[in-house]
Amino acid sequence: MTYCLAATVEDGLVFVSDSRTNAGIDQLGTFSKMHPFTDLPGRFFTLLSAGNLATTQAVVARLHRDIREDAETSLATVGRLRDAALYVGGINREMQARYPEEDRPKGFSPNADFIFGGQIGNAPHDLFHIYAAGNFYSPTPLAPFVQIGEQKYGKPILDRILGTKTPLETVARCGLVSMDSTMRSNASVGPPIELMIYRAGIGSSTHMIYDEDNQYLRLLRRSWAENLRQAFEKLPPIELPQPKFRAVES
């Protein structure tokens, strides 16, 4: 499984991803699912991937090849962010189409999902969820985040904390808490955890990789467990009416 999330707020973009892959519970692997493009002049992109590993690698390899070989359309040449998403979605479809439906072994799916976000020049930064079909959408300001993979465990905290005015550091912290809740509940989501923070105004990016024993991640986990317990204990107790008693054995 996989869990990746990203948020777009006024100050920029935040991406968080896990690194566990599995092909059955006894075949675990560690692969980065965060693919930054930080060396293109005047532009920044990051791609997060979920789904078939062969497809996601093929897509990322093609994106790099198109830049390296000066293809007519590449992440280095597209003029608008939505055109970049369209281009990535098209490559996603192309890589899956190498394995036509009629030739697929039973149970095999080459499908892959992506989160793709970035900024070109001074145009607004944004974020897209790109489906296996190649189509994509950007999140709403009411819930300015996108998740792929194992989404449910980590969604409530995002719903409660994130808004478009949330500072980048807070967004990043919320993303790590969301990731931690997911790892706790689904063993197929695991470290290292990667974090990318992109500050839109000045175009700076920070890429962090937290391994399992990272001191901050452990501190965050302990604090969150303790703070949650306190938050719960402060809740108003239930007022219970008079109970019904069990009938006496006849």
* SS3 at position 231: helix
Tokens of 204: 């700076």
Cβ-based nearer residue to a second copy, 106 or 160: 160
Tokens of 96: 């899956």
DSSP letter string over 98-157? TS-GGGPPTT----EEEEEEEEETTSPPEEEEEPTTS-EE--BTTB-EEEEES-STTHHH
* Only segment of 25-33, 51-59, 91-99, 170-178 that touches a second copy (CB under 8 A): 170-178
Q: What is the C-alpha separation between 101 and 221, in angstroms, rounded?
A: 43
* Only segment of 15-23, 50-58, 87-95, 237-245 that touches a second copy (CB under 8 A): 237-245
Q: Which residue from 67, 135, 163, 224 is in contact with a second copy, where contact means CB under 8 A?
A: 224
Cβ-based nearer residue to a second copy, 8 or 181: 181
By CB under 8 A, tell whether 62 contacts a second copy: no
Q: What is the C-alpha separation between 183 and 189, in angstroms, rounded?
A: 5
> Per-residue contact track with a second copy, 24 to 43, x per CB under 8 A?
--------------xxxxxx
Which residues 131-160 are close enough to bind a second copy by CB under 8 A? Answer: 152-153, 155-157, 159-160
Which residues 181-220 are close enough to bind a second copy by CB under 8 A? Answer: 181, 184-185, 195, 197, 199, 202-208, 216, 219-220
Question: What one-letter code names the amino acid at 71?
Answer: A
- Residues near 9 by beta carbon (within 8 Å), at least 6 away in sequence: 144, 162, 163, 164, 165, 166, 167, 168, 171
Q: Dihedrals φ, ψ of 215, to 5°?
A: -65, -40
Cβ-based nearer residue to a second copy, 1 or 53: 1
* Only segment of 21-29, 88-96, 131-139, 167-175 that touches a second copy (CB under 8 A): 167-175
Question: What one-letter code names the amino acid at 7?
Answer: A
- Closest contact distance (angstroms) between CB of 142 and a second copy is 14
Contact positions toward a second copy, by CB under 8 A? 38-44, 121, 152-153, 155-157, 159-161, 169, 172-174, 176-177, 181, 184-185, 195, 197, 199, 202-208, 216, 219-220, 223-225, 227-232, 234-241, 243-250
